[in-house]
A and B are shown apart, each in its own frame.
Chain A
Amino acid sequence: MSTLTCDDVMERLGELVDGALEEAEAASLGRHLASCAACRHELEAERELRAATRALPGSVAPARDLWPDIADRIEAGRVVRGRFGWPPALPVRRLATAAAAAVVLAAAVTAAYLAGLNRAALPVADAGPSGPQTGVTPAQLVIGGDLTTIRNDLRARLEERRDELSPETWSVVTENLEVIDRAIQRIQLALEEHPYDNRLNSHLVAAYRLEIDLLQRATRLPAEI
């Protein structure tokens, strides 16, 4: 086999992890991986994705048991007190980590679900009654329930702080949330036409993450008024 490029390796990583490559081809990839940190990183990510997929229940629904812990933290309103002494906010760093983990999981579930549609070998292939026959896109399945709860909670907290932020800051925050919302809406519209486009799911997850990032930041801004 001729010298492999990173793109060649990327295209075969899934088969390598699955043990589906011929011995010579696997050895060739192994030589490239031995000298390429970037591809080793991708290989590790692929293995982690597969491990996360295997750990999921035999359903495409997100793992709900991640969320009670997040919800408890929101309810408790644990204080992150800045030096300006602004009001109690969400436990930003921990919530960010948890939310990011949830989004990553959502992405993993989405990817696994999509992969499951094409590759019956994956454990999540049992799409059950929520599969594509229902007309519901995988992204809608994943970006539902608890993430919506988080978004709504953060938006409610932001609204509570409206009188503490200057009109200029409020305007910037809300206008930029609208920018993200418009992006989300456009991606969702695109998903209706191309429900199994992996790129769209990736963009959608990224847009939701950016929205949560902005909401978290906005809810912990120091009081200006």
Chain B
Amino acid sequence: MKTLTTTTLLVLLVLSVAGIAAADRSVDETRPLAPDGRVEISNVAGEVNVVGWTGSGVAITGTLGDNVKELAVTSDGDHLSIEVELERKVRSSGEARLTVKVPIGASVEVETVSADITVDGVRGDLDLESVSGRVEVSGEPRSLAAASVSGDLVVASAAGRTELEAVSGKVVVGRASGRLEVSVVSGDIELESGVLESLELETVSGTAVCRVAPAAGGRFAIETMSGRVELVLPAQVDADFHIETFSGSIENDFGPAPKRTDEHGPGRELRFTSGNGGARVTVESFSGSVHLRTK
């Protein structure tokens, strides 16, 4: 009886290992691509890691899980398409984990459903979109457009033109410069540092904490419905401020107190100039509170 049990276990083990081997097919392909070429990647589940490298062309490595039909790669020199194709009946249940090395100057477009996306060291244009996957970018792309529904968007350094759009996902930017647009519904926003030529930010109920300053002559336009907005700025910032709320409170560390906009209404308005002025900071809020803090 004991021998039979051991044999059964061994058979099961062998079958199991064979099954795993069948489920995780490895990928290792290289394709030519111009140094400033364009790469498009689509993957439903798993992960997509894109890395800028100084090597020639594009190198694709990783694994294809069960229910993945094939990895379709097509190219024409300037353009490369990488698509994870699933078995027709299973739609989104097949996972693929890919690492794609691209020329540093390439532009990259990635679309996923639940797969996480990471991009590091690519200097071309990035267009990244996921439904529930986390999107994480490091390096300094020429431009960045990233969107998610519930996935977080985490950008280490935003330079040039950056557009970030989430629904409930959190948006975090480590260091910001250039022009930045952020839009969320209920997700929170954290802009941790930097000096921006322009900032356009809108939130419905998410909290926005912005520790970024406007460049000389820069322009911040922030709009919130009910979300709290906190601006943390250098005490000597040169800017003209115009803060207006319908019913939200305004707190100002820079000195001047807000005024009521209507003798009988709850509205508040605050206009003042800090330093020499020049940059324009406007915040419009329906019911969200607005806090101006000094660093």
- Partner of B111 from the list A83, A187, A200 (CB cut-off 8 Å) is A83
| B167, A214: Cβ atoms closer than 8 Å | yes
Q: Is A5 an interface residue (CB 8 A)?
A: yes
Bound Cα distance from A197 to B284, whole angstroms? 13
Stretch in A48-56, A143-151, A174-182 touching the partner: A174-182
A36–B240 alpha-carbon span in the complex (Å): 13
Contacting residue for A210 out of B147, B185, B240, B287, CB 8 A:
B185
The answer to whether B149 touches A221 (Cβ under 8 A) is yes
1/0 per residue B114-137: CB within 8 Å of A? 100000000000000001100000
Which of A6-33 touch B at CB < 8 Å? 6-7
Residues A6 and B205 in contact, CB atoms below 8 Å apart: no
**Does A186 interact with chain B (Cβ within 8 Å)?**
yes
Which of B40, B167, B186 counts the most chain A CB atoms within 10 A?
B167
Taking CB atoms and an 8 Å cut-off, the chain A residues in 72-87 that contact chain B are 82-84
Partner of B167, one of A82, A173, A200: A173
Segment at the interface with B among A90-98, A154-162, A201-209: A201-209
Cβ-closest chain B residue relative to A223? B91
Is residue A47 contacting chain B, with contact meaning CB distance below 8 A?
no
Give a binary string over A165-192; 1 marks a CB under 8 Å from any B CB, 0 the rest.
0101100110110011001001100100
B44: chain A residues at CB < 8 Å are: 84, 222, 224
In the complex the two chains form, what is the Cα distance from A37 to B198 in whole Å? 13
Query: Residue of B at shortest CB range from A204?
Result: B286
- Residues of B with C-beta under 8 A to A213: 183
Chain B, residues 224-241, CB within 8 Å of chain A (1/0): the string is 011000000000000010
Tell me whether A6 and B247 are in contact in the complex, defined as CB-CB below 8 angstroms, given that A222-B44, A222-B113 are known contacts: no
Find out whether the CB atom of A200 lies under 8 angstroms from the CB atom of B246.
Answer: yes
Tell me if A64 counts as interface (CB < 8 A to partner B): no
Known: A5-B240, A217-B149. A207 touches B225 (CB 8 A): yes
Specify which chain A residues have a CB less than 8 angstroms from the CB of B143 in the assembled complex. none
Q: Is B188 an interface residue (CB 8 A)?
A: no
Task: Give Cα distance in the complex from A37 to B215, angstroms.
Answer: 14
> Is A183 touching B205 in the complex (CB atoms < 8 A)?
yes
Min distance, Cβ B202 to any Cβ of chain A, angstroms: 7
Decide: B113 and A224 in contact? CB cutoff 8 A.
Answer: yes
Closest to A42 in B: B280
Taken together as a complex, chains A and B put the C-alpha atoms of A200 and B92 apart, in Å, by 43
Given contacts A6-B280, A199-B267, A225-B92, contact A183 B113 (CB under 8 A): no
Contact A179 B242 (CB under 8 A): no
Query: Is the pair B246, A179 in contact by a Cβ cutoff of 8 Å?
Result: no
Contact B186 A179 (CB under 8 A): yes
For A224, list chain B residues within 8 Å (CB): 44, 91-92, 113-114, 131
B69 at the interface (CB under 8 A from A): no
| CB contact under 8 A between A199 and B202, given known A183-B225, A186-B286 | no
The size bracket of the interface on B is 35 or more
1/0 contact trace for B50-87 toward A, CB 8 Å? Answer: 00000000000000000000000000000001010000
Chain B positions 80 through 117: 1 when the CB is less than 8 Å from some CB of chain A, otherwise 0? 01010000000110000000000000000001011000
Task: Name the residue of chain A whose CB is nearest to the CB of B42.
Answer: A83
Is A120's CB within 8 Å of the partner chain B?
Answer: no
B219 near A169 with CB under 8 A, answer no
Q: Which of A38, A169, A199 contacts B280 (CB 8 A)?
A: A38
Bound-state Cα–Cα, A203 to B226, Å: 11
Interface presence of A194 (CB below 8 A): yes
Q: For A186, list chain B residues within 8 Å (CB).
A: 226, 286-287
Q: B183: which A residues are within 8 A, CB to CB? A: 210, 213
Q: How far is the CB of B166 from chain A (nearest CB, A)?
A: 10
Closest Cβ of chain A to B108, distance in Å, is: 14
Point out residues on B near A: beta carbons under 8 Å: 40, 42, 44, 81, 83, 91-92, 111, 113-114, 131-132, 147, 149-150, 167-168, 183, 185-186, 202, 204-205, 217, 219, 223, 225-226, 240, 242, 244, 246-247, 262, 265, 267, 271, 273, 277, 280, 284, 286-287
> What are 25 contact pairs spanning A and B, CB under 8 A?
A7-B271, A83-B111, A84-B111, A169-B131, A172-B168, A173-B167, A176-B167, A176-B186, A179-B186, A179-B204, A180-B185, A183-B286, A194-B265, A197-B246, A199-B244, A200-B246, A200-B286, A203-B246, A203-B286, A207-B204, A210-B185, A217-B147, A224-B44, A224-B92, A224-B114
Task: Please give the residue numbers on chain A whose beta carbons come within 8 Å of chain B beta carbons, in ascending order.
Answer: 5-7, 36-38, 82-84, 166, 168-169, 172-173, 175-176, 179-180, 183, 186-187, 190, 194, 197, 199-200, 202-203, 206-207, 210, 213-214, 217-218, 221-225
